[in-house]
Amino acid sequence: MSYPWIKTLHIVLVIAWFAGLSCLPRIFATMAQTPASDARQVLYGMAKRLLRVTTIVAVPAVLLGLWLFGVIGIGKGPNGGWVHAKVFFMLLAIAFHFTCFILLVSFEGDKKGASATFCRRLVYIPIVLLTIIVTFAVLKPF
């Protein structure tokens, strides 16, 4: 497989990963507003499946990014400072992903979980992170 195809696959996987990360807090916010019922169990199941798929997509996205850096050498050299900043924000995205795991556990069973307001505020984090990461990848500012 050639470099452009691997880079394309990496980008598509990252976008899919962040789409999942953007949807999860919306489901959590709805769960927080729904009293314990069958509807809440359906939402919990949706969130659990989405988190599973998002994790399955995230692993190859991160591994391909590491391969592009380590094997191909993207971002190495004197003008590669941008890749270090990108990696920092990717680590924040991974931390957010783990935060979604913790939030899902907080809604397990009949537990109250996080507040709807808190979950609604989380919706914007993946969007901001993706914007910053794409900006570093495209503009390579330093």
Per-residue pLDDT of the chain (142 residues; tens, 9 = 90+): 688 899 899 999 999 999 999 999 999 999 999 987 899 999 999 999 999 999 999 999 999 998 888 777 776 766 778 888 999 999 999 999 999 999 999 999 878 889 999 999 999 999 999 999 999 988 988 8
How much is the pTM?
Answer: 0.91
Domain containing 131 equals 3-139
Evaluate whether 113 touches 47 at the Cβ level (below 8 Å).
no
Round to whole Å and give the CA distance between 131 and 112: 32
Q: What domain count does the chain have?
A: 1
